[in-house]
Amino acid sequence: MSVSKTEGVTLHRFESCTHRNRLGRKNNMNKMLNNALLVSGAVVVKRAKSGRHYWFLVKQSDEEGWEIPKTVVRKGESSVRASIRMTGEQGGMNAKVLEEVGRSGGSTTLKGKVVPRRLIYYLLQFEASGEVLGFVEHGWLEYKNARKKVTSKSEKEMLKQAKTIYEKWKKEQEKEKII
């Protein structure tokens, strides 16, 4: 997991970006995103008692395929907070953000206009669950099945990256337990 030191405070990679912005330093990313729709994706993984890992996928509508859950980032909200909000409100779960998985871009149609879209995906670890609301369908799938079910090539890649990051994170956690 990426960690940085800013003014004597240890921050995870995603927190350090937010902290720098609060300090008033220039962030070229914000300029680039001013005219784009910013979307946050939550690649959620949970470990079952059996030791197996399951990945959370959703269908936003009957017409759309299976995908990683995503939400539009609200004005004044960070992309990390948007993922946490969405997993809580729509996914009915508590989850901990572990790391940024990746970014992608493209465009979408909004009110009849084609608008650039920027997606930022985060790896979240499932902690507790309630009732899942806000999705037509949802499911917890083993990695192999999740990769098959996701329809977008870029999201298949995000799942692959998330799995790699999660495996590294688990190894780091095991090392810390030994020490």
Task: Yes or no: say if 99 and 13 are a contact pair by the CB < 8 Å rule.
Answer: yes
Handedness of CA 169, 172, 178, 179 (dihedral sign): negative
> Is pLDDT of 68 > 60?
yes
Average pLDDT, the chain: 82
Spatial neighbors of 116 by CB under 8 A, at least 6 apart, are: 35, 36, 37, 105, 106, 107
| Banded model confidence at residue 105, pLDDT cuts 50, 70, 90 | very high
- Enumerate the CATH 3.90.79.10 domain ranges in the chain, comma separated: 36-178
Tally of CB atoms within 10 A around 67 = 18
More confident residue, 16 or 70: 70
> Is pLDDT of 82 > 90?
yes
Q: How far is CA 105 from CA 60, 116, 117, in A?
A: 19, 7, 6
Task: Yes or no: say if 150 and 156 are a contact pair by the CB < 8 Å rule.
Answer: yes
Residue 64, pLDDT score: 87
pLDDT tens, residue by residue, 120-138: 999 999 998 888 887 889 9
Determine the Cα angle at 158 with ends 154 and 159, to 5°: 120
Residue 28, pLDDT score: 38
SS3 content of the chain, % helix, strand, coil (to 5): 35, 40, 25
> Is pLDDT of 13 > 90?
no
> Is pLDDT of 3 > 80?
no
> Is pLDDT of 90 > 50?
yes
> Is pLDDT of 100 > 90?
yes
CA distance linking residue 93 with residue 97, whole number of Å: 12
More confident residue, 143 or 5: 143
Class of the CATH domain delimited by 36-178? alpha beta
Residue 15, pLDDT score: 43
CA distance linking residue 152 with residue 156, whole number of Å: 6
Residue 179, pLDDT score: 61
Residue 47, pLDDT score: 92
